[in-house]
Chains A and B, each alone.
Chain A
Amino acid sequence: MLDLLWTLFIEPLGQQSFQKALIGGSLVAVVCAVVGCYIILRRMAFLGDALAHAMLAGVTAGYLIMLVFFGVSADAVAMFIGSIIAGLITVLLIGFVSRVSRIKDDTAIGVIYTGIFAVGGLLASYFNDLIHIDLYHFITGMVIGVEDADLWMMATVATIVLCVVILFFRQLQITSFDPVMAASIGVPVLLIDYMLTICTSLVVVSAVRLVGVILVVGLLVTPAATAYLICDRLSRMQIVASVFGVTGVVAGLYVSTWIGDIATGPSIVVAITLQFVVVLFVAPRYGLIADWLRRSRFLPQKVVEDVLRSLLKSHPQPVSFAELSGYAEALPDQLRRSLRSLEAQQLVQLDSGQYALTEEGQIESRRILRAHRLWETYLSHVGTPEEQIHDQAHVLEHLHDEDTVDYLDDKLGHPLVDPHGSEIPEDFVHLVPGTVVKSALLREGRGGVVETVPDEFVGVLPKGTRVVAGPRRNDGRIWTLTLEDGSELALDHDQADEVQVRLDSDRTIE
């Protein structure tokens, strides 16, 4: 077992080519990840692709110039500088085209970078006697076989880019997030943008050596995207992205060494893509599983309210779980979780396996019942066919905010019973002992002292008189108030609304 681990993990480390690949790959992965965060937040992924392709022209031009003018073949520095210049020309041309014409950015990128890539291809093939650029490796990358010159180049790039990112963290953050605000406080937005573009070119040039032109974008954006699924702060996102980048490169290198005959570039990109897929599912907040869990944990209000109403039906008799699952239309699991949540809200209490409403739970369920019956009355009032009333009211009862219920109650003339003849609970939200309410809200037996009287009744109903509500007449359209001397006053809805009464501080009847 140990032998196997040794062969798999430690032995490759002894090979110099593997060491170099590991060091170079890690350096590139870190800068790619750090810069990649800006690339994805600024939605510039396509630009990374463009820069990578434009490189071919730069490499070829650098090679040719050194060969023709200085007689030096395959000068790494010249090819490097050529790539950067080609990248910058590409960016400038893209900016130019989208500024002076009606061509949008993405189209401009497509036109310019393929054009420049093609020029590079043309040069490389025409001068193929002179130029020995390995086009295959340019496209797929060749990390095993990284030379010292490449390592130095990668280290230089990493140093420059990391310094820039650390020094100008705030400026890069604010220009990525809110360029208008940045400009208004005097940040040179354009300069910062160009700085980031140069950094991106540097990073891309060094990454092409690792994974090839086609896959550069993957190395640039995938670790950053993976980190974006987890992190809520830019600085943390950059650190996490670097970790994903480096581990991806290491995993890719090992796998390609083990299997032997596979290209390193694709192997690295497969590794970071797998990381992304895994995180996409398991990320704690923005992942698919988290999303699914959240949705399944979400209790439909309907179920909770059904439970409350079922409990109210048998109140004050407590109910067992089995009985309850007979009443409420809910899956056992949903029902159990609803009860737990209601218990946590102290609306329901559990006593030796039996559920009962607490005082607050009674109020809440009466509120829902009242909404339900008012909606039934309303539906029948607007002519809904009888067989639909119950189901529709069942859906509508979940609209039970105070304003809605008050509106229905008033519009329907404060009905006492619903169309099925069941009593509508009284308006306990407003009928708080000691407060002033419209007498229209009083049910039979409720009493109080008159506070406000319309002029027409001043004679018969002076302020300060104690009244008790009598039974309603004419199908509930006429209210009656009994005075202390036994005389009775009949009011219609409008009048009953205008007569305001301060409720007794204790209830006359239950």
Chain B
Amino acid sequence: MAEATSESSVGQETVPAVEIENLTVSYGPTPALLDITLEVPQGLLVGIIGPNGSGKSTLIKSILGFKKPDVGEVRLFGESFERSRGRVAYVPQHGAVDWEFPITVQDVALMGRYGNVPWWRDLTAKDKQLAADALKMVRMQDFAKRQIGQLSGGQRQRVFMARAMAQGADILLLDEPFSGVDAATERAILDVLQRTKESGRTLLVVHHDLATAAEYFDRLILLKQRLYAYGPAEVVLDQELLGAVYEGQLRVFRHLHADAHLPAELGTGKKPSG
């Protein structure tokens, strides 16, 4: 076991965090994802965009190993899902959480450790320490005893980021972290994402707002059943590509187009300096 860990840490510079190869996933007669192949290198903040029902959440489920692919395979750090379980953590959508559940910030962070402890054994002092460290990392240690419903939008997101970090995960999957929050909270959440990225973790974020996509993410995955584009914003937010993906929602697209183009150019301008 120890050998395996050291081996993988040696190769960590080169092994991509997520490798998806010829992935096809279906629920009914039409595939939800068709022949997706892409590689996400470590330490990037990647946005997944596409219209409703384009397979964004299916992609997340496949990376989490919930949905067995019809064809193809998902590898995390070069290993199959079974062997890399625990290296990937899921941060739920705000609306999917029962904020009135009787649970404190500390308890949520501790949950991150549950996967590492067999059911017959208690959590150890080390688990508690790791959870406390994770809370400190997102600057939520002062709220440890609060019930989660008493937090502001940005703080709530941070608690779940802490849980993901307590899991010891290197890959974080976030489902629309910016939905239904105000602009200030959006900034605060982005800041947490960025700092998480700087700590060497890889983040995949389902995002619906084309106008901010270019500014927020290093790379974008444009999805609608198939992989339409993958790469830096200036490549992905191409007028023709977006037109092809968002057809039928063309009105929305036209409205966004002007915005989408602007940050794309900003993105190019920023690249060399950053």
Binding site for B on A (CB under 8 A): 41, 167-168, 170-171, 173-174, 176-178, 180-187, 228, 231-234, 236-237
Closest chain A residue, CB of each to CB of B107: A233
CB neighbours (8 Å) of A183 from chain B are 64, 66
Query: What are 14 A-B pairs with beta-carbon distances under 8 A?
Result: A170-B114, A173-B111, A178-B96, A178-B111, A181-B89, A184-B90, A185-B114, A186-B85, A186-B115, A228-B102, A231-B102, A232-B102, A233-B103, A234-B101
State the CA gap A182–B89 with chains docked (Å): 10
What residues of B have a CB within 8 angstroms of the CB of A174 in the complex?
111, 114
CA distance A182 to B85 in the complex (A): 12
Contact digits for B75-98, partner A, Cβ 8 Å, 1 yes 0 no:
000000000011011101000111
How far apart are the CA atoms of A41 and B101 in the complex, in Å?
7
Q: Is the CB of A233 within 8 A of B104?
A: yes
Cβ–Cβ < 8 Å partners of B97 in chain A: 178
Contact yes or no, A234 B103, CB < 8 A = yes
Q: Return the contact of B119 from the options A168, A178, A182 (Cβ within 8 A).
A: A168
Considering only CB atoms, which chain A residue lies closest to B64 in the complex?
A184
- Whether, in the assembled complex, B141 has its beta carbon less than 8 Å from a beta carbon of chain A, the answer is no
Tell me if B120 counts as interface (CB < 8 A to partner A): yes
CB <8 Å contact, A178 and B66: no
Query: In the complex the two chains form, what is the Cα distance from A183 to B65 in whole Å?
Result: 9
Q: In the bound complex, do residue B102 and residue A185 qualify as a contact, i.e. CB atoms below 8 Å apart?
A: no
| Alpha-carbon distance A143/B117, docked complex (angstroms) | 42
Q: Contacts A171-B119, A186-B115 given: A181-B92 contact, CB under 8 Å?
A: yes
Q: How far is the CA of A390 from the CA of B265 in the complex (A)?
A: 48
Residues of B within 8 A of A178 (CB): 92, 96-97, 111
Q: Does B196 contact A (CB under 8 A)?
A: no
Q: How far is the CA of A326 from the CA of B26 in the complex (A)?
A: 74
Chain A-chain B contacts (Cβ-Cβ < 8 Å), number: 69
Residue of B nearest to A230 (CB): B102
A14 to B90, CA, bound (A): 58
Report the minimum CB–CB distance from B174 to chain A (whole Å). 12
Q: How far is the CB of A101 from chain B (nearest CB, A)?
A: 16
Given A167-B119, A171-B119, A232-B104, 8 new contacts (CB under 8 A): A170-B114, A170-B119, A174-B111, A178-B96, A183-B66, A187-B115, A233-B107, A234-B102
Chain B nearest CB, measured from A38 CB (Å): 11
Interface of B, helix, strand, loop or mixed by DSSP: loop
Residue of B nearest to A177 (CB): B101
Q: Which of A41, A178, A183, A185 has the most CB of B within 10 A?
A: A185
Instruction: Determine the interface band of chain B, counting residues with CB < 8 A from chain A.
Output: 20 to 34
Q: Which residues of A contact B163 (CB under 8 A)?
A: 181
Contact (A187, B103) CB under 8 Å given A167-B119, A170-B119, A177-B98: no
**In the complex, are the beta carbons of B147 and A232 less than 8 A apart?**
yes
* Contact code string B37-80 (vs A, CB < 8 Å = 1, else 0): 00000000000000000000000000011100000000000000
Selected contact of B92 from candidates A180, A228, A231, CB within 8 Å: A180
- B155 CB within 8 Å of chain A: no
Q: Which residues of A contact B85 (CB under 8 A)?
A: 185-186
B24 touches A (CB below 8 Å): no
A180 in contact with B90 given A167-B120, A185-B114, A185-B167 (CB within 8 Å): yes
Of the candidates B66, B88, B103, B123, the one whose C-beta lies within 8 Å of that of A177 is B103
- Shortest distance between the CB of B268 and any CB in chain A (Å): 31
Q: Is the CB of A41 within 8 A of B66?
A: no
Say yes or no: B111 contacts A181, CB within 8 Å.
yes
Q: Measured between alpha carbons, how far is A234 from B104 in the docked complex, in Å?
A: 9
Q: Which residues of B contact A231 (CB under 8 A)?
A: 102
Chain A residues with CB under 8 Å of B103's CB are 173, 177, 232-234
Considering the chains assembled together, what is the distance between the CA atoms of A168 and B121 in angstroms? 10
- Complex interface: chain A residues within 8 A of B102 (CB): 41, 228, 231-234, 236-237
Q: Which residues of the partner chain A approach B89 to less than 8 Å between Cβ atoms?
A: 181, 184
B104 smallest CB distance to A (angstroms): 6
Chain B 109-130 near chain A by CB (<8 Å), digits 1 or 0: 0010011010110010000000
Chain B residues whose C-beta falls within 8 Å of the C-beta of A182 in the assembled complex: 114
Least distance between B100 CB and chain A CB atoms (Å): 8
In whole angstroms, how far apart are the Cα atoms of A177 and B86 in the complex? 19
Given contacts A41-B101, A177-B98, A177-B103, contact A187 B114 (CB under 8 A): yes
- Nearest-neighbour CB distance to chain A for B120, whole angstroms, equals 7
The residues of A that contact B123 with a CB separation of less than 8 Å are: 170
